[in-house]
Amino acid sequence: MSTQIAKKAELQKNWYVVDLEGKILGRAATEIARVLRGKHKPIFTPSVDTGDFVIVVNADKVCLTGNKLSQKVYHRHSGYPGGLKSVTAAKLLEKQPDELIRKAVKGMLPKNKLGRQMFRKLKIYCGGEHPHQAQQPKQLEV
């Protein structure tokens, strides 16, 4: 018996919707990354994008435990001397809550072309509504 390799033509992509109201960021991000990667399917192949689409709603109502709101800091650098920009998780949650979830999920995906392809299947919305009703997404519990 040989190991089956998933082929792109045979794959069935499903759509899932995740409601993050009152959910913990890290625990939700791991589940979202698992579905984007396709590890929940028996046909999972590391070199093929077997994952599904994930729609995240209520991104602005996600929770962080402990003192992470004040102590967790996200850094970026412009490339110029003295160009380090820092923002706390509380300020990021206030101004761009979707970016907080993007950073958490992107860190859990592979750092290559395949990971970038998987990341494009993540759709994040701050409110409770999304424009993907035509895809008939299923509810995903995290």
Give the alpha-carbon dihedral of 18, 98, 121, 63, to 10 degrees.
Answer: -40
Q: What is the pLDDT of residue 13?
A: 95
Beta-carbon neighbour count of residue 84 at 10 Å? 10
Tell me the pLDDT band of 117, cut-offs 50, 70 and 90: very high
Q: Where do the domains of the chain lie?
A: 14-64+97-139
Gap between the Cα atoms of 36 and 30, Å rounded = 10
- Here the tokens at position 38 are 């396709």
Gap between the Cα atoms of 79 and 67, Å rounded = 30
Gap between the Cα atoms of 36 and 116, Å rounded = 11
Q: What's the residue count for the chain?
A: 142
Percent of the chain with pLDDT over 70: 100
Gap between the Cα atoms of 33 and 30, Å rounded = 5
Amino acid at 75: H
Give the architecture-level CATH label for domain 14-64+97-139.
Alpha-Beta Complex (3.90)
Q: What is the pLDDT of residue 108?
A: 98
pLDDT 10s digits, 23-57 = 999 999 999 999 999 999 999 999 999 999 999 99
Mean pLDDT confidence for 95-116: 97
